[in-house]
Amino acid sequence: MAGIYHFEPVVAKDSKEAKDNPVIVYVTDHANVKIPTVGAGGTATILAGKQKAAVKLVPDGDNRLKGIGKYASTPDMKVVVAITLPGKPAEQARFTPLVSAPPPAPMDHSKH
């Protein structure tokens, strides 16, 4: 979540070596409605291992921004996304895209 927006970054998951890989960020609102990215811009700063890559993001379709950056897919990868939509203030969000979410707690159905 970034202010009134929801950013969803997509990074390479299997790049063992640092090489040119795509970064795509989808932009929606909290109701999952696509937010047009025409005229938008931004950056994705990727911290992977001891390497840092700054990726320029440009509009690429309805509600996405895309860029290419040199990074490896490390389990501890962190991505900081900053996007400015036309006429709006910049919004920023931080992600750990390759960290698996913990499984949901089991439901106790005996009370129903």
Extents of the domains making up the chain? 5-96
Domain 5-96, second-level architecture: Sandwich (2.60)
**The amino acid at 8:** E
What confidence tens digit (pLDDT) does each residue in 62-94 have?
Answer: 999 999 999 999 999 999 999 999 999 999 999
Per-residue pLDDT band for 49 (boundaries 50, 70, 90) equals: confident
Lowest mean pLDDT among 19-23, 40-44, 108-112: 108-112
Mean pLDDT, residues 7-32:
94
Please enumerate in sequence order all residues whose Cβ is within 8 A of that of 27, keeping only pairs 6 or more positions apart, or say none: 5, 6, 7, 34, 35, 37, 40, 63, 64, 65, 83, 85
d(CA 112, CA 96) in angstroms, rounded, equals: 36
What is the value of pTM for the model shown? 0.84
Mean pLDDT, residues 23-31:
94
- Residue identified by tokens 């106790």 is 108
For the chain, give the mean pLDDT.
89
d(CA 110, CA 112) in angstroms, rounded, equals: 6
